[in-house]
Amino acid sequence: MKILIVNYHYPPSATAHSYRWALLRCFFLQQGHSVDFICGGVTCEQDNENNIYRGNFPFTVKKGHSNFVSASNKSADGLKSKLLSLVKYTYRKIFWPDGLWHWLPFSLYQVFKLRKEKYDLVIGYSPTFSALIASSTYKIYNRNAKFIVDFGDPFSVSKEMPVNNYYLYKKLNHWIEKKIFSIADLISLTNEKTYDLYRAAHPDVTKFTVIPHLVNINEFYNNPVTPLNLKLKIGYIGAFHKGIREPHLATDKICSLSNYLVTKCQFDFYGPLNGIKLIDSKRINYHGVVGRDKALELMKNLNILINVENESCPMSPSKIYECMATGKPILNFLSSNGFSSFDEYPLVLNIDKNTSPDEIEQFILDNSNKILSKEEVENILSEKTLSFIGEKYLSVIGD
**Would 2-77+101-214+384-394 and 217-380 be classified into the same CATH topology?**
yes
Dist. CA 136–CA 393, nearest whole Å: 17
| Residues 31, 37, 40, 42, Cα dihedral to 10° | 60
CATH class of 217-380: alpha beta
Q: Which residue has the higher pLDDT, 67 or 180?
A: 180
Mean pLDDT of 299-326: 87
Give the pLDDT mean for 19-46: 90
- Which of these, 149, 155, 156, lies nearest to 183 by C-alpha position? 149
Please give the pLDDT value at position 314.
74
Taking residues 16-31, report their average pLDDT: 93
Sign of CA dihedral 279, 282, 288, 293: negative
2-77+101-214+384-394: what fold?
Answer: Rossmann fold (3.40.50)
SS3 state at 5: strand
Segment 350-357 long-range contacts (CB within 8 Å, at least 24 positions apart): 351/249, 351/250, 351/253, 352/249, 353/249, 355/253, 357/253, 357/256, 357/257, 357/258
pLDDT tens digit sequence for 322-377: 999 999 999 999 988 888 889 889 999 999 999 999 999 999 999 988 999 999 99
pLDDT of 48 strictly over 80:
no
Cβ–Cβ < 8 Å for 128, 103: yes
Domain boundaries, the chain: 2-77+101-214+384-394, 217-380
Q: pLDDT, tens digit, for every residue of 87-103?
A: 888 888 999 999 999 99
**CB-CB contact of 306 with 189 (8 Å):** no
SS3 285: strand
Mean pLDDT in residue range 91-117: 93
Using alpha carbons, list the distances in angstroms from residue 237 to 244, 320, 378.
16, 11, 22
pLDDT score for 44: 74
Kindly give, in sequence order, each residue whose CB lies less than 8 Å from that of residue 28, ignoring residues fewer than 6 positions away.
3, 35, 390, 394
Q: How many Å apart are CA 166 and CA 168, to the nearest integer?
A: 5
Quote the pLDDT of residue 77.
64
The pLDDT score that the predictor gives to residue 120 is 96
Nearest CA-CA partner of 40 in 30, 25, 58, 55 = 55
Alpha-carbon distance of 152 to 318, in angstroms, equals: 10
Question: What is the CB neighbour count within 10 angstroms for residue 182?
Answer: 11
Decide if 268 contacts 303 (C-beta within 8 A): no
pLDDT interval class at 317 (50, 70, 90): confident
What is the torsion angle, in degrees rounded to the nearest 10, for the CA atoms of residue 95, residue 36, residue 65 and residue 284? 90
**Segment 191-249, tens digit of pLDDT:** 998 999 999 999 999 999 999 999 988 888 876 555 455 789 999 999 898 888 999 99
The more confidently predicted of residues 273 and 229 is 273
Q: Is the Cβ–Cβ distance between 188 and 211 less than 8 Å?
A: yes
Is the pLDDT higher at 78 or at 188? 188
Name the nearest CA neighbour of 65 among 24, 8, 12, 121: 12
